[in-house]
């Protein structure tokens, strides 16, 4: 059974009196939701893949610390928003209660499209950086030709798309089955993913650099074509131009983007405000915990990777791979991911699989979380009548917005197809700038919210809290605004992580333009029904 509304002749401001979403998430659920969207495994995989290769000499550990401080400030601002307006819907709900509705809708679209795009990429990366390297390592280390062949097969475009689509569909099915089941499965997967991460740490800590070199040369010497494959790869990279000379603090700021990209997920639970118990306590521990724990794990793994595998090798192995167009040469026969390199040390198919499974599960946790993030915004749009009523259809038995979940799934599959079959989209990481810009504007609005909407703010638990004589929300959102603006600029001037290529910036601008056109079209349609949607934005959203 589902809750629906007959919009014919219904001129209420809101689509229904209650959303149908219920408070099911505990403090620990909130933490797991956020850390899943950080994706510890995906973070370390991308940091160690792109960091030393494209930012030689950049200090990843310092970069992680800088990002953790910045993200803690951003999270603090979002926590205050969540406490003042404890409703599901994210930046749309926040911004729409102070900014012009059309601008709030544009911000919300800019906030959810990039994560949907990256969710499609995550389904791709699960195979490319998780499953395939694991099978490759098993095949190389243990002479299992079937495993090597399988790794090669599943990295072909059509197989990447088919397997990735199956993964996305399974995630959507889980989400549609109800938040209680989703949160239960999420906790179970979190435990297994942490087991994989701890295993990786133990393995890296148990071996020296000399032992890694010996093991690598033993397993990869034939494939690379030289006896001392380890040092040959380093020398090859240096001859092609890789060098740590000339590295500056700017290099460290650039490499920190690869910690920022995953860590931004630490604040995503603000989209679930209406479904979290003890909102203030849960959001504080859920967001800040998801900043601190991944940062500590990353620092440990980065230090151990540099010590055991070697910074120069990590940089040149990937650098050579891209210099040669991914066709091999003086690098590993498949992507030299941290999963593959750590797996070499174990000499065990079992432990190699455990490490690979941990990375895969971290990436998987991203997917239903992203779907949830986007879906809650779509539902909120529907309740305020700025989107079709069907998007707000919520099951009365499972309390899940099934139509919005299907729409989210369709968009992710489309993005996955673009990424698999259209090389242009493999270079578009600039979309993250649209999301960071959305957060910048939302946090800036939060600075003024206590003054412009006092009738709402004074009813919140933060009403009497001051810092430096100012409302605590003003201070928190102000600091979050500065931190997010700083990283928007760092991303803008980093051509590897995002950049500002004109053709790609056009896509970012296009997202906001399409959102504005959609909003005004819906506003005109609602006006033809005798509904003034502007009235909804003067009130607290329905729960």
- Total domains present in the chain: 1
The gap from C-alpha 106 to its chain's centroid, in whole angstroms, comes to 20
Q: How confident is the model at residue 219 (pLDDT cuts 50, 70, 90)?
A: confident
Lowest mean pLDDT among 91-95, 349-353, 501-505: 349-353
Q: Say which range, 248-252, 298-302, 321-325, has the weakest mean pLDDT.
A: 321-325
- The pLDDT > 90 percentage for the chain reads 39
Identify whether 482 is part of a domain. Answer: yes
Token pair, residue 484, equals: 């997010």
- Is 543 contained in some domain? no
Q: Give backbone dihedrals phi and psi of 26, rounded to 5 degrees, phi first.
A: -85, 180
Residue 394 pLDDT more than 80? no
Q: What is the pLDDT of residue 427?
A: 57
Taking the CA atoms of 431, 435, 436 and 441 in sequence, report the sign of the dihedral they define.
positive
Residue 92 buriedness (CB in 10 A; 0-12 / 13-18 / 19+): buried
Q: Which of 181-195, 246-260, 303-317 has the lowest mean pLDDT?
A: 181-195
Structural contact between residues 93 and 379, judged by C-beta atoms closer than 8 angstroms = no
Q: Say if residue 423's pLDDT is above 60.
A: yes
The predicted structure's pLDDT at residue 126: 83
| pLDDT tens readout for residues 264-281 | 999 998 888 767 778 888
Q: What is the DSSP string of 6-47?
A: --TT---SSS-S--S----B-HHHHHHHHHHHH-HHHHHHHH
User: Is 193 inside any structural domain?
Assistant: yes
User: In sequence order, which residues have a C-beta less than 8 Å from that of residue 221 and are 6 or more positions away?
Assistant: 227, 228, 229
- pLDDT-based confidence at 45, cuts 50/70/90? confident
In a domain? residue 118: yes
Query: Do 165 and 375 touch, CB atoms closer than 8 A?
Result: no
The mean predicted confidence, pLDDT, of the chain is 85
Residue 395: pLDDT over 80? no
Asked whether residue 513 is domain-assigned, the answer is: yes
Residue 306 belongs to a domain? yes
Q: Of 2-16, 413-427, 517-531, which gets the smallest average pLDDT?
A: 2-16
- Region 392-421: mean pLDDT is 83
User: How far is residue 62's CA from residue 148's CA, in Å, rounded to a whole number?
Assistant: 37
Tell me the sheet residues that pair with 276: 25
The verdict on residue 28 lying in a domain is yes
**Phi and psi dihedrals of 5, rounded to 5?**
-135, 135
Q: pLDDT digits over 236-262, tens only?
A: 889 888 999 988 999 999 999 999 999
Higher-scoring residue by pLDDT: 532, 517: 517
Q: Is residue 19 scored above 60 in pLDDT?
A: no
| pLDDT tens per residue across span 105-119 | 999 999 989 888 888
Residue 119's pLDDT is: 83
Residue 446: give the domain boundaries. 2-538
How many other CB atoms are found less than 10 A from the CB of residue 262?
25
Q: Which CATH number fits the domain that encloses residue 280?
A: 1.20.1740.10
Using an 8 Å Cβ cutoff, are 49 and 334 in contact?
A: no
Residue 456 belongs to some domain of the structure: yes
Q: What does the alpha-carbon distance between residue 234 and residue 221 come to, in Å, rounded to a whole number?
A: 14
């Amino acid at each position: 059974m589902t809750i629906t509304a007959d919009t014919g002749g219904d001129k209420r401001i809101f689509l229904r009196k209650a959303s149908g979403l219920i408070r099911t998430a505990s403090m620990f659920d909130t933490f797991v939701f956020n850390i899943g969207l950080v994706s510890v495994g995906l973070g370390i995989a991308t940091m160690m893949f792109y960091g030393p290769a494209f930012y030689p000499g950049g200090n990843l550990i310092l970069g992680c610390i800088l990002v953790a401080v910045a993200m803690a400030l951003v999270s603090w601002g979002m926590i205050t928003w969540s406490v003042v307006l404890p409703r599901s819907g994210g930046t749309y709900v926040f911004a729409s209660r102070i900014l012009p509705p059309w601008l709030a809708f544009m911000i919300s679209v800019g906030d959810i499209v990039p994560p949907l795009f990256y969710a499609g990429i995550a389904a791709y990366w699960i195979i490319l950086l998780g499953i395939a390297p694991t099978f490759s390592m098993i095949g190389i280390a243990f002479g299992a030709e079937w495993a090597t062949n399988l790794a090669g097969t599943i990295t072909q475009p059509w197989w990447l798309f088919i397997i990735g689509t199956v993964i996305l569909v399974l995630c959507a099915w889980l989400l549609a089955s109800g938040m209680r089941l989703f949160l239960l499965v999420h906790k179970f997967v979190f435990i297994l993913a942490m087991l994989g991460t701890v295993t990786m740490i133990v393995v890296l800590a148990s071996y020296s650099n000399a032992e890694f070199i010996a093991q690598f040369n033993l397993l990869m010497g034939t494939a690379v074509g030289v006896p001392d494959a380890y040092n040959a790869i380093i020398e090859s990279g240096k001859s092609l131009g890789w060098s740590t000379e000339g590295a500056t603090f700017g290099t460290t700021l650039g490499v920190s983007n690869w910690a920022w990209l995953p860590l931004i997920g630490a604040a995503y639970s603000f989209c679930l405000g209406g479904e979290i118990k003890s909102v203030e306590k849960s959001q504080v521990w859920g967001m800040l915990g998801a900043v601190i724990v991944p940062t500590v794990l990353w620092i440990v793994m980065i230090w151990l990777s540099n010590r055991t595998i070697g910074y120069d090798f990590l940089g040149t192995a990937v650098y050579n791979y891209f210099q040669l167009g991914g066709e091999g040469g003086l690098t590993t026969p498949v992507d030299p991911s941290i999963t593959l390199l750590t797996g070499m040390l174990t000499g065990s198919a079992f432990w190699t699989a455990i490490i690979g499974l941990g990375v895969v599960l971290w990436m998987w946790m991203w997917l239903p979380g992203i779907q949830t993030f986007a879906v809650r915004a779509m539902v909120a749009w529907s309740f305020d009548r700025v989107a079709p009523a069907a998007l707000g259809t919520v099951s009365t038995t499972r309390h899940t917005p099934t139509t919005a979940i299907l729409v989210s799934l369709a968009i992710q599959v489309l993005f996955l197809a673009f990424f698999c079959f259209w090389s242009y989209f493999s270079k578009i990481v600039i979309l993250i700038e649209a999301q960071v810009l959305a957060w910048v504007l939302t946090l800036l609005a939060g600075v003024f919210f206590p003054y412009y909407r006092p009738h709402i703010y004074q009813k919140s638990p933060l009403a009497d809290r001051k810092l430096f004589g100012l409302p605590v929300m003003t201070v928190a959102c102000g600091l979050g605004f500065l931190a997010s603006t700083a990283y928007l600029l760092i991303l803008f001037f980093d051509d590897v992580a995002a950049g500002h290529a004109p053709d790609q910036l056009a896509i970012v601008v296009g997202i906001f333009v399409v959102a504005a056109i959609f909003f005004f079209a819906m506003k005109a349609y609602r006006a033809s029904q005798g509904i003034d949607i502007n009235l909804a934005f003067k009130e607290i959203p329905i729960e």
